[in-house]
Amino acid sequence: MIELVTAPAEALRVGALDPHDPDPKARATLCAWLRVHAAFGFRPQDACVALQRGVVPDELWMLADAAGRERAKAVAIEGPLWRGLADCGARAVPWDAPGYPERLRRLADAPPLLFVQGDASVLARRAVAVVGARAASAYGRRIATDIGGELARAGLVVVSGLAHGIDACAHVGALEAGGDTVAVQGRGLDGVYPRSHRGLAARIREAGALIGEFAPGVPPRAAHFPLRNRIISALAEAVVVVEARVRSGSLVTARHAADQGVDVLAVPGPIDVPMSEGTNELLREGAGLVLEPADAVRALGLEPAPAGLASLADPGSDDPEAARVIAALADAPATRDELVARLASPPEQLALALSELELLGRVEQGRDGRLRLVPSRGSRV
């Protein structure tokens, strides 16, 4: 079971509904909204039309089609859906709650319920989304980490999708800068996708929130990720695309952003590299140009944090095992097996340190299978 990390006062202020709340009225309200979610999960636009007309949740679920009404009738206080929510430490933020993001509420297909782990109040703050390729280059990972850190130091929330590559590095950049970040999942919050990011997800819960529209127990499916992308863009005032192919989920997010009136920014890349084709195409279509991380901050009319203040620490400097890996690879590249022998470290411990360093773009694996340090700018040598 995941423990809640925020106080009841925050839930009251945001209007989040907690399955652990003993108040009968709050429990009845949560049950009604869970029924709405069950009834309209496949057609949220129908629920939005009724909500905008002022239909209350107790009546709303009964307006669904026959299949939706049957799903709603199966929802009960302390039933499977309720227990799933309670067991994963999540709350539900309904469409009419003060903490439901206003930008998201404007969508014609806004989810009637958002499920949240962590601090739901961060959803009301100014945010920028950073998205890009899963199979990102070392350059892309480094830039995404830098942008995440720059945005966090400016007091902005960094939003992304917890995926491999650019998404993960943007989250890590924000966390390492001491900022807040929000990860939007394409599955129920009783699990993490990808599973290898469970450690990163735990850090995000502590310094922001994991959110999604899918109920506990719903697995990740390909069709969920375009739906997730509309939430990522709707939470943000701008979307920064770091690396992307022409046909990619990142460009879907950018299209959602443009349709929602959200600024789209892109980092240029080499014209002969497939991973840059999408971002370069966005620039051709008029996206804002990001030539340095501070450009993402300036796009919102803000000034970047002064150089040297709350600067991003050298990745791994607070982790003795990561520092040992950096020192070992500074001597010579090595395979994972060679590192285990060289450092005499337990393989699981070494794997954790390497995973963090690869996320941060400090280490990459060459075609020969050897791990190498990635040169970086400034103090991040």
The DSSP secondary structure of 175-213, one letter per residue, reads HHTT--EEEE-SS-TTS-SSGGGHHHHHHHHHTEEEEES
pLDDT at 12: 60
Return the H-helix or E-strand segment holding 152: helix 138-153
266 token code pair:
């892109």
Cα–Cα distance, 326 to 112 (Å, whole number): 47
Q: Phi first, then psi: what are they for 113, rounded to 5°?
A: -130, 140
Judge contact between 172 and 133, C-beta under 8 A.
no
The ranges assigned to domains in the chain are 8-99, 125-298, 320-373
DSSP category for residue 62: G
pLDDT at 312: 34
Angle at 226 between CA 222 and CA 232, to 5 degrees: 130
pLDDT at 316: 44
> Which of 170, 123, 116, 105 has its CA nearest to residue 142?
170
> Which of 88, 112, 103 has its CA nearest to residue 33?
112
Cα–Cα distance, 87 to 133 (Å, whole number): 33
Question: In sequence order, what are the residues at sequence separation of 6 or more whose Cβ sits closer than 8 angstroms to the Cβ of residue 175?
Answer: 152, 181, 203, 204, 207
Judge contact between 51 and 95, C-beta under 8 A.
yes
pLDDT at 112: 96
Question: Helix and strand tally (H, E) in the chain?
Answer: 17, 11
Q: Is 261 exposed, middle or buried (0-12, 13-18, 19+ CB in 10 A)?
A: exposed
Judge contact between 226 and 184, C-beta under 8 A.
no
pLDDT at 307: 55
> Which parts of the chain sit beneath pLDDT 70?
1-12, 307-319, 331, 375-381
Judge contact between 87 and 190, C-beta under 8 A.
yes
Question: Does the domain spanning 125-298 belong to CATH 3.40.50.450?
Answer: yes
The CATH number assigned to the domain with range 320-373 reads 1.10.10.10
Number of neighbouring beta carbons within 10 Å of residue 79: 12
pTM value is 0.80
> Which of 182, 224, 186 has its CA nearest to residue 206?
182
pLDDT at 44: 94
pLDDT at 7: 43
pLDDT at 336: 85
Return the H-helix or E-strand segment holding 114: strand 113-118
Q: For residue 364, what are the β-bridge partners?
A: 372
Q: Where are the alpha helices (DSSP H) in 260-306?
A: 274-284, 294-298
- CA-CA-CA-CA torsion sign (247, 192, 321, 341): negative
Judge contact between 248 and 133, C-beta under 8 A.
yes
Cα–Cα distance, 339 to 321 (Å, whole number): 12
pLDDT at 20: 96
